[in-house]
Amino acid sequence: MNALTTHNLEEMRQYVLGRFAALFESQTRTHLFGANISELVRAIHGEALDGLQATFGKMDELGISAQAKNVLVSQLEQAIAPFKELDRTLDLLLEERRRQWRENERNLLRIMLEFGQISGELAGTLVEKDLLERQSHVLENIILSHEKVTQWKAFIQEILTSFHVIFPFDFFFISFAQDNNLSLYIYYLNNYSEEIKSDARMKLSRDMISSLGLPPGAPLDIEEFQVMENDRYESIGDVNLITVSVPALEVVNLAGLLGVAYGSAQQLTVQEESVIRSILAVMVMVVGSSKALSQTLSELEYYSTHDPLTGLHNRRYFNDMLEYEVGRSERHKHEFAILMLDLDNFKDVNDTYGHPCGDAALKLVAEKLLDVMRKGDLATRIGGDEFAILLTETGRSGALAVAEKLRMELREIQFECTDGKVFHITTSIGLITFPEDAKNVSDLMTGVDIGLYRAKEMGKDGIATLESATDHIRIGRNTRDHAEKLRLALKENRVVPYFQPIFDCKTGEIWAYETLARLKEVNGETLSAGMFIETIEKYGLGRELDRAILKHALAVLKERMEQASGPHRLFINLSAQEIQGRGILGFAEQLCQEMCIPPSAIVFEILERDAIGDMTNMRKFLTNLREKGFSFALDDFGSGYNSFHYLRELSFDFVKIDGAFVRNILDSKIDRILVRNLCNMCQELGIKTIAEFVESQEVLEELRSMGIDFVQGFHLGMPLPRMA
C-alpha cells in the first residue's frame, strides 16, 4: 500500500464528500416520493367520499323510505370505515418516515462534520510529519567531533548544504560579540553581485550591533563564504530574518546571534517557521559550543606545552625537544648542553613572604632566563623552583659562560614583596654536555641531576659540571637493579638467615649466634646482604628485610630448642629505621609467643652510627625493648664520634667493639690500648663486650688477656645456613 500523503488524503476527502452528497440526494428523493404517494391516496379517497355524499343527498328525491335510508346509511358507513382507517395508518406511516428522514439527515450531517474535522487534523499531521522528516535530515548532520569543533566554520558549511536542500534559503549569518568587538560570518547560498553583498553586510552589521547593544562605532570583522553556486540573483529583495540568540558564555565572555535570512519570494508557513527555529536552536548550541570549545582547546593545547605561571615551556615540551635535539645533533655531529637550575632555599621565600610573592619571583626569574637566552635556545620551567635550559650547538666552555652569567644576574636581582620587603636569591646549576658527558636522553637527565646535586653539596650558589656521567649513572643503575633484585627475592622467600657463632673467651664454647642475611640467587649463588646495604637504606627495604630474617631465624631457633641442643641465644641485626617505632618489637614479641621462645633469647643489635643519630627515639626504643624482655647490643662500638658520651646517655646490655680496632691490636699500639680501655670501661659499667673480626689465634689470645667476654670471626667460625 502506498504511503498516505496530503495529495492522497485530499482525493479520499473529495470521494467521501461525493458519496455523502449522493446519500443526501437519495434521501431527499425518497422523502418527496412518499409525500406524493400520500397526496395521491388522499385525493382518491376524497373523490370517493364526495360521490357517496352526493348519492345520499338524492335519497329524498327518489322517495326512499326512512327505514331503507337508514339501512343504506349504515351500509355506506361500513363501506367508508376502511378508507378512513387507511388514511389514519398512512398518516402514522408518513409521520414515522419523516422522523427517520430527519434523524438520518442529522446523522449524515454529523458524520460529514466529523469526517471534515478528522481529515483536517490528519492533513495537519501529515504536514507536521513531513516537516519533522525534513528537520531530521538536517539534524542528522549535526554531530560534534574534535575535528569539527576545531574547524567549526567549515562544519557550518556542511550543515548549511543539507539545510538548503530541505529548506531553501538565500543566505545564513552568524555574529559574535566579544570584548566589544563584532564578528560577522555570512554564508551565501546563491550568487549575488558585490553590490548586493555590500548591502547585506551593511544591513546585517547594523542590525547586529543594535541587537547586541554595542556602540555604533564598534570594531567589526566580517568573513564571507560562498557555500553553493546557484543561479545568479540580481536582487535579494526584502529580507525576512529568522533569528535565534546564542546564550552568553561567561567562561569565554562570548555572546552573539545566529540567524537565517530568506528572500521575499520564499514564503514560509507558520509550521515551517517553527521547525526552522527549532533547527536554529540546535545550531545555536552547536555554533556557540564549537566556538567556545575551539577557544578552550586552543588554550589547553597552549598549556599542554607551557607553564601557566611563567609562560615558559614546561617539562613535557622540554622532554620532547631534548629527544629531538639528540637526534638532530647525532645527524649533524653537533654538540649541545643542558643547564639545570634550582633556586637555593626558595621554600623559605614561600614560607616567609607567602606564595604570591614567591610566584612573582619565579616570573622575574623566567624573564631573566629569556633575556639571557639566544634565539634557538630553550628555557623551561620543570616544576617548583627548578628550571632547565637547552643550549643548542654549545659545548662545555660556552655553557659554563652562560651558566655563570645566569648565576650572577639572578644573584643581583632584588625581589620586592607587596609590603615593601626585599630579598635576594641564589641559584645552584648543574651542567652536562652532549655527546661528551652522555649520549642519550636518560643519561643526560641523570647526569645533569647529579651535577645539580653536587652544586648543592658544594655550598650552593655555584655551578657543577660532570666530566663523565658514566660511572655515576652505572652506580645509580646498579643500586636500582639491586633494589629490584632484593624486592623479588623477598617476595619469593629467597632471603634467608645464616648463623655465625659467638664464643665465650673463657670456656672456648659457642655461647650465641649472630644472624646474618643472605640472598639466594635463582642460579643457587649466595650473596651477602652487605652488597645491598646502600640499596636497603636508599629504597627503604630495611623493614621488610628485618621481618623476613626475624621470622626465618626464630623458626630455626625453635627447631633447635625442640632438639634440646644449645646454645639458645640469637643476635639479630636491625635497620636504623626500626628505632623510629615501626613495630618490629611487637612483631618479634608476637612471634616469640606463637613459637614459645622466651624473649630473653633474643638480642637485637644496631650500628653505633645509626643508634646515636636519633637519641630521643633510641631511649624510647631501649625502654620498650627491655619491657618486652629482649636484650640489646651496640654494634661497631668505637667507630662513632664521642662514643663515651653515648655510654653515659644510654644503657646497653652488650657492646660489640668495632672490628677495625680488633684486627690490628697486634700491630698497632693505639688500637691495642683503645680495645683494652674499652673493655675495662665496659666491665666497670656492667656491660658485656664482644670482639668482632677475630681472624687468628694470636688475636684471640690477646683478647683473652684483656678480659674480653665474647669473640667472633672467620678464625672461629664462618656464617652457615644452620646452627652448628
pLDDT digits (tens, 9 = 90+) for 322-375: 999 999 999 999 999 999 999 999 988 888 888 889 999 999 999 999 998 888
Q: How many other CB atoms are found less than 10 A from the CB of residue 440? A: 13
Q: What is the DSSP letter of 313?
A: B
| Last residue within a domain, chosen from 108, 133, 158 | 133
pTM metric for this prediction: 0.50
Cα distance between residue 683 and residue 688, in whole Å: 7
Asked if residue 81 belongs to a domain, the reply is: yes
Buried b (16+ CB within 10 A) or exposed e, 372-390: bbeeebbbbbbeebbbbbb
Asked if residue 45 belongs to a domain, the reply is: yes
Cα distance between residue 573 and residue 570, in whole Å: 10
The pLDDT assigned to 134 comes to 59
% of the chain with per-residue pLDDT over 70: 72
- 218-226 average pLDDT score: 81
Asked if residue 308 belongs to a domain, the reply is: no
Cα distance between residue 579 and residue 591, in whole Å: 19
Asked if residue 475 belongs to a domain, the reply is: no
> Cell 637493579, residue?
481
The pLDDT assigned to 718 comes to 92
**426, 460 contact by CB (below 8 A):** yes
Asked if residue 646 belongs to a domain, the reply is: yes
| Last residue within a domain, chosen from 436, 468, 500 | 468
- 397-426 average pLDDT score: 89
Residue 497 pLDDT > 80: yes
Shared domain for 490 and 398, answered yes or no, is no
Asked if residue 372 belongs to a domain, the reply is: yes
Shared domain for 545 and 566, answered yes or no, is yes
Shared domain for 106 and 183, answered yes or no, is no
Summary mean pLDDT of the chain: 79
Cα distance between residue 582 and residue 428, in whole Å: 36
According to DSSP, the residues that pair with 607 across neighbouring strands are: 635
The pLDDT assigned to 555 comes to 93
- List of residues 6+ apart from 95 with CB closer than 8 A: none
Q: How many domains does the chain have?
A: 4
**225, 192 contact by CB (below 8 A):** no
| Identity of residue 558 | K
Residue 290 pLDDT > 50: yes
- Specify the CATH number for the domain of residue 604: 3.20.20.450
The pLDDT assigned to 469 comes to 45
| Environment class of 213 (CB within 10 Å of its CB; exposed 0-12, middle 13-18, buried 19+) | exposed
Which range is least confidently modeled, 129-143, 462-476, 494-508, 613-627?
Answer: 129-143
pLDDT category of residue 259 using cuts at 50, 70 and 90: low
Shared domain for 362 and 489, answered yes or no, is no
Least Cα distance to 170 among 91, 243, 106, 263 occurs for 263
- Specify the CATH number for the domain of residue 439: 3.30.70.270
Least Cα distance to 79 among 51, 106, 104 occurs for 51
Shared domain for 379 and 494, answered yes or no, is no
The pLDDT assigned to 110 comes to 73
Shared domain for 525 and 589, answered yes or no, is yes
Strands 386-391 and 336-343: antiparallel
Least Cα distance to 654 among 602, 724, 609, 618 occurs for 602
% of the chain with per-residue pLDDT over 90: 31
According to DSSP, the residues that pair with 223 across neighbouring strands are: 185
Residue 133 pLDDT > 70: no
Q: How many other CB atoms are found less than 10 A from the CB of residue 64? A: 14
Q: What is the DSSP letter of 613?
A: G
The pLDDT assigned to 251 comes to 41
pLDDT category of residue 254 using cuts at 50, 70 and 90: very low
Cα distance between residue 435 and residue 332, in whole Å: 12
The pLDDT assigned to 219 comes to 77
Shared domain for 615 and 649, answered yes or no, is yes
Residue 317 pLDDT > 90: yes
Strands 220-226 and 181-188: parallel
The pLDDT assigned to 58 comes to 64
14-32: pLDDT as tens digits:
777 667 666 766 767 776 7
Shared domain for 102 and 196, answered yes or no, is no
Task: Give me 210's grid cell.
Answer: 543594535
Shared domain for 448 and 502, answered yes or no, is no
Question: Ranked by mean pLDDT, which of 353-357, 442-446, 550-554 comes out on top?
Answer: 550-554
**105, 28 contact by CB (below 8 A):** no
- Specify the CATH number for the domain of residue 168: 3.30.450
Shared domain for 456 and 499, answered yes or no, is no
**166, 205 contact by CB (below 8 A):** no
Asked if residue 565 belongs to a domain, the reply is: yes
Shared domain for 62 and 103, answered yes or no, is yes
Instruction: Determine the length of the chain.
Output: 724
Query: What backbone phi and psi angles, to 5 degrees, belong to 598?
Result: -70, 135
| Identity of residue 23 | L
Please indicate whether residue 513 or residue 659 has the higher confidence score (pLDDT): 513
Which range is least confidently modeled, 282-286, 302-306, 557-561?
Answer: 282-286
The pLDDT assigned to 152 comes to 67
Residue 692: give the domain boundaries.
481-711
The pLDDT assigned to 252 comes to 43
Q: Which helix (H) or strand (E) covers residue 546, if one does? A: helix 542-562
Question: What are the E-state strand segments in 300-398?
Answer: 336-343, 378-383, 386-391
Shared domain for 67 and 92, answered yes or no, is yes
Residue 474 pLDDT > 50: yes
- 61-67 average pLDDT score: 65
Least Cα distance to 539 among 479, 592, 598 occurs for 479
| Last residue within a domain, chosen from 444, 468, 492 | 468
**186, 222 contact by CB (below 8 A):** yes
Cα distance between residue 485 and residue 137, in whole Å: 65
Please indicate whether residue 167 or residue 619 has the higher confidence score (pLDDT): 619
**605, 635 contact by CB (below 8 A):** yes
Asked if residue 412 belongs to a domain, the reply is: yes
